[in-house]
Structure 1
Amino acid sequence: MNPTGATEPTAVERAHVRNRRGQGGRLREDIIDAAVALLDETGDERSITLRSVARKVGIAAPSIYPHFSDQPRIMLAVVQREFAGLEAYLRKAVEEAGDEPRDRLLAICRGYLEFARKYPQRYRTMFGGLWMPPLGEGHSLSEEDTLTLGQGAIQLLVDALAECVAAGQSEITDPPLDAVVLWMSLHGLAHQRAVSRGFPWPEHSIADAMVTRIARLTEA
């Protein structure tokens, strides 16, 4: 609130003011920003409609069409951005873990769970959200639009497992397969933490024990 009593513009609104001064290329990103903000605020992806997003940005709904043909296309852009954010989050965790393969693997797995806990609404939407419409002919999205979602993050897990094997710290024989098994286990733990909030979850011990067993980590 400013001294005159007027409400201060939001970040999205300030960005849109700049767009009107010649930065129209930012509008697509503003639309995605608005959709993410609505998701965080409401916790319900059904709140993200063309009208609600347009209202959040401060534009007329038809102004969205040159950038997104419909709501599923907006949601796909949101999910693509969040998967890129997850990958960046995990890369940072790896960089901070040092050079020991075992530590790097554990850092990725802990980082994954931290991301899910820090951004619960986004995480739920990324994995099996209501936004996913029918795919294929007659619809705005195809199977190809969704095939690469999360591939960067899962590849980090594959690479970390392979590094553990090469260092003699893991006895697995199929890193790509075991990476999927490990991811599914992490996803299950993230889900249970989200729905069983009253349970006294240990900070790392359950996750570390799960990773140690699935990755067949050794002390070498």
Structure 2
Amino acid sequence: MDFAQRLPGRYRILFGAAWDASQSIERAPAMAPDLAVLGMGAFGILEQALTDCVAAGRSTSSDPATDAAALWVGLHGFAQLQVAASLFPWPAGLQESIIERLALLTRD
């Protein structure tokens, strides 16, 4: 999120649908295994963080992999919309609200 806010043009290039993995696979099928794991390291950190929250009693998630995917999609969508709709009156604290709700975080 910090990257998207600091460098919106670069974020748009990386995640703005300018690149399509399926087209790359069609052109170079040997790249498929590499493309399949592209970004999974970062996603793994998010999934592990949510799993750790469950273990610590801070999340009610019963499926951290799926909930981490929902969180990943939600945050990418939010970041993309902030870049595309910078004039929208974004509510304060919306990013934290998205994280809290999609990660099923609990307040102690």
2:39 alignment partner in structure 1: 150
Confirm whether residue 190 of structure 1 aligns to residue 79 of structure 2. Answer: yes
Distance in 1 separating the partners of 2:106 and 2:19 = 41
Distance in 1 separating the partners of 2:69 and 2:84 = 23
Alpha-carbon shift at residue 207 of structure 1 (Å): 1.0
Bigger Cα Rg: 1
Which residues in structure 2 correspond to 1:1-220 (within 5 Å)?
113-127=1-15, 128-130=17-19, 133-136=23-26, 139=28, 142-203=31-92, 205-220=93-108
Is the Cα–Cα contact under 8 Å of residues 60 and 104 in structure 2 kept in the other structure?
A: yes
Shift in CA distance, 114/147, structure 1 to aligned 2, threshold 3 Å: same
Alpha-carbon shift at residue 141 of structure 1 (Å): 6.0
- Structure 1 residue runs of 5 or longer lacking an equivalent are 1-112
Shift in CA distance, 139/162, structure 1 to aligned 2, threshold 3 Å: closer
| Identity across the alignment (%) | 37
- Structure 2 residue runs of 5 or longer lacking an equivalent are none
Instruction: Supply the AA of the counterpart residue of 1:167.
Output: A
**TM-score (ref. length: structure 2):** 0.82
Is the Cα–Cα contact under 8 Å of residues 157 and 179 in structure 1 kept in the other structure?
A: yes
Is the Cα–Cα contact under 8 Å of residues 125 and 131 in structure 1 kept in the other structure?
A: no
Runs of 4+ more than 3 Å apart: 130-134, 138-141
Shift in CA distance, 120/155, structure 1 to aligned 2, threshold 3 Å: same
- Which structure has more RCO (C-alpha within 8 Å, separation ≥ 6)? 2
Q: What is the alpha-carbon root mean square deviation over aligned residues? A: 2.1
Alpha-carbon shift at residue 131 of structure 1 (Å): 6.7
Matched residue of 2:60: which SS?
coil
Distance in 1 separating the partners of 2:73 and 2:89 = 22
Matched residue of 1:171: which SS?
coil
Distance in 2 separating the partners of 1:134 and 1:158 = 27
